[in-house]
Structure 1
């Protein structure tokens, strides 16, 4: 049976700013000066001002419902109030009905009902909403009933577009995300489904966010779901989505919606790898054909890549006494440009000898400023001051990696570039000391440990498993195939049967 109570309306127009807290993010910053005018003709009115960008992380369904309603709706005569148990069922019927959904009976829910000028509260039978409904009419609807949608009040809506884009991670259908989706649908907000909750992940998400947020990355976007991160993280990702070029294959994150297959070596030096066995045009064609061989076995598009040795480990000290020969960036420029034009990613590999990685990386700053160019640090060839190549395996500290990574991340941010691949070559745990100290927090970088071991399948897989022990969170795994040193060389199908599936595969 439906119970009804008399509603006493006060026909006033008021400005209300919701003051609450969710996951350490103040909603007051989200719902700035939203106007609710109870004497409007419409039963439902959209918010008149866009909210600031806010990431809600793993906030509860109650807090998420409050935040989205505050951002999307200026006023609503009919509002649903659900318990956490009935919230998802209500979410399935309220979006198309244009009715906002609040979850719980907290004081903040009561504040929202007051701000919206609600006259009728819709709830499930047996739900006690007296503490928030006050003297409003209460309409009981069983959201699980087959005809539940038909029993909802008809709503006349102001159809102005809601000034909001709602970013959701479709892979995490939590109750909070379901509630957020229902409220965004009810209010006509733009919903952007992003893999991993990252608006940079695909061309579609980048385009959707650009359309929704316009020119200002600090306004108009709200993200729900733990993968979306904090407000600070979301704002940084949005800044990249709005300004940066896209990577080969689309989107701006290196390993979210693509894998890469590369030829490795140095131009004109066949002994260093297959990349140098033919001219530029033939190398690009060979690499594209190689990547295509992986497509039948991949869950994601496979993008061709060139891993170019830009500084070559040397048996002679050279004029700088660093046992490393630096290839003139001007020599590599045609390779970088041609690869970009062909939709091929490029990684510049450093074999620094007695020089530190950062010093060498800075030599190639203008090439690294290209959106499709990343960096590889080859620790096998990083020597101590008294060492020479081939007498020992080189090693690098986590601190030196962090210094180089920080510079690369700053370059990416300052030049408004898409995320960059940062490869850490390794086949022995000793090659990177204090690996746990590697900083993986910079969203501008996609860091991967590249397993460089060669030999029999058992030896290679043993190295693969060993390198994953104590791997810092945020670092993914990559793989190298050798045509001559492996016995036998893994096929594309065998390579992609490895667990976890490698994100970057190179051939030497």
Structure 2
């Protein structure tokens, strides 16, 4: 969690027949026809290694016996990153040195630091390949309505293009993060279609700064509903099918109960892989407790955890969790984010 607001240009169990055997889309969102103008492609292939997929999900469940994990889900399309790789990401914005490691350091120095984290995860879990990533805040919440009508600042394409160029330096994938303020995802997601059509670009949502009640960002913690997640998932799924892309990843941040509402109504699709990322800073005991209450107890698909270089070290007994400690969580996170 980071309340810094950018003001100007200066965030193998018993598998039922629903596993890897079929898929039914229950939410029939429709996109404007202009978004589906690509040449018709052959239907993407479902992942062929279904046994390996199920086995890896069981490993990630890490011995959980509650019945929550692993989650029944459709097998993804061919080319899926999860759960075969663990994503290790740097988070931030190029306009601010305060919003995360991405933006705090020049690109080459940033890559030296991120490469050390990637190597640490390779050593902690040699059975899982590590995929580096840059997690860029492409829509930054604002609390100045005189300048920003919808309480959000849309990053110019030149900045997003710069992040894509930096990502190429380390063969990284990119997440475009949305802090919608008083705007709506139905307005903001289509603005990024140019980038979301790219195979290595994915989407992230930050409910903390989704102010549906009209409050200013930072005054209180915002929220998103399952319907918001389903809209984004359906949007990404249609792009995957229209442009014959590998599955997209959709990250949703969470560190309170109300940030994500009606989680049981979230639809899982073979075209999209959903990660609920345990945001929030504090001592290890608080992070473990938050993970248990808001991630473990409300299973959706995959999980992640966020680590803070500064806030996790604010005062004793604060410290950053190690990869070895994180791997003890049930389920094991497949997305690790450093801010």
Matched, 1:303 2:161: no
Question: In structure 2, the residue corresponding to 1:460 is in which secondary structure?
Answer: helix
Does the aligned pair in 2 maintain the 1:318–1:325 contact within 8 Å?
Answer: no
**C-alpha distance in 2 between matches for 1:469 and 1:436:** 13
Does the aligned pair in 1 maintain the 2:276–2:304 contact within 8 Å?
Answer: yes
**C-alpha distance in 1 between matches for 2:146 and 2:205:** 21
**C-alpha distance in 1 between matches for 2:296 and 2:130:** 27
Does the aligned pair in 2 maintain the 1:265–1:275 contact within 8 Å?
Answer: yes
Q: Equivalent residue for 2:232?
A: 404
**C-alpha distance in 1 between matches for 2:278 and 2:304:** 6
Shift of residue 276, structure 1, vs aligned partner: 0.9
Q: Deviations over 1:133-165 (max 9, x none)?
A: xxxxxxxxxxxxxxxxxxxxxxxxxxxxxxxxx
Shift of residue 295, structure 1, vs aligned partner: 0.7
Q: Equivalent residue for 2:309?
A: 483
Indicate which of 48, 53, 65 corresponds to 1:195.
Answer: 53
Indicate which of 292, 302, 322 corresponds to 1:465.
Answer: 292
Q: Deviations over 1:279-332 (max 9, x none)?
A: 233323332222111111113011111111111111212555211111012321
Q: Equivalent residue for 1:210?
A: none
Q: Equivalent residue for 2:14?
A: none
Shift of residue 275, structure 1, vs aligned partner: 0.8
Q: Deviations over 1:187-241 (max 9, x none)?
A: xxxxxxx53399xxxxxxxxxxxxxxxxxxxxxxxxxxxx9x99xx78x93xxx4
Query: RMSD of the alignment, in Å?
Result: 2.8
Matched, 1:265 2:92: yes
Q: What aligned pairs does 1:148-227 form with structure 2 within 5 A after superposition?
A: 169-170=50-51, 194-196=52-54
Q: Equivalent residue for 1:87?
A: none
Q: Flag the structure with larger Rg.
A: 1
Does the aligned pair in 2 maintain the 1:428–1:467 contact within 8 Å?
Answer: yes
Distance 1:476 1:318, change over 3 A: farther
Structure 2 gaps, min length 5: 1-16, 23-47, 57-69, 313-317
Q: Deviations over 1:342-379 (max 9, x none)?
A: 31111111101001123212211111111111111000
Q: Equivalent residue for 2:181?
A: 353
Does the aligned pair in 2 maintain the 1:448–1:477 contact within 8 Å?
Answer: yes
Does the aligned pair in 2 maintain the 1:294–1:302 contact within 8 Å?
Answer: yes
Shift of residue 469, structure 1, vs aligned partner: 5.2
**C-alpha distance in 2 between matches for 1:358 and 1:412:** 18
Matched, 1:371 2:199: yes
**C-alpha distance in 2 between matches for 1:269 and 1:493:** 31
Q: Equivalent residue for 2:208?
A: 380
Q: Equivalent residue for 1:286?
A: 113
Indicate which of 273, 278, 293 corresponds to 1:446.
Answer: 273
Matched, 1:335 2:166: no
Q: Report the more deviating stretch, 265-274 or 337-346.
A: 337-346
Flag the structure with more relative contact order, 1 or 2, with Cα contacts below 8 A and sequence separation at least 6. 2
Distance 1:318 1:361, change over 3 A: farther
Does the aligned pair in 2 maintain the 1:395–1:433 contact within 8 Å?
Answer: yes
Shift of residue 269, structure 1, vs aligned partner: 0.8
Matched, 1:494 2:293: no
Does the aligned pair in 2 maintain the 1:268–1:279 contact within 8 Å?
Answer: no
Shift of residue 494, structure 1, vs aligned partner: 2.3
Q: TM-score, normalising length from structure 2? A: 0.75
Does the aligned pair in 2 maintain the 1:347–1:376 contact within 8 Å?
Answer: yes
Distance 1:412 1:282, change over 3 A: farther
Distance 1:56 1:433, change over 3 A: closer
**C-alpha distance in 2 between matches for 1:168 and 1:307:** 29
**C-alpha distance in 2 between matches for 1:375 and 1:278:** 23
Shift of residue 341, structure 1, vs aligned partner: 5.6
Shift of residue 470, structure 1, vs aligned partner: 4.9
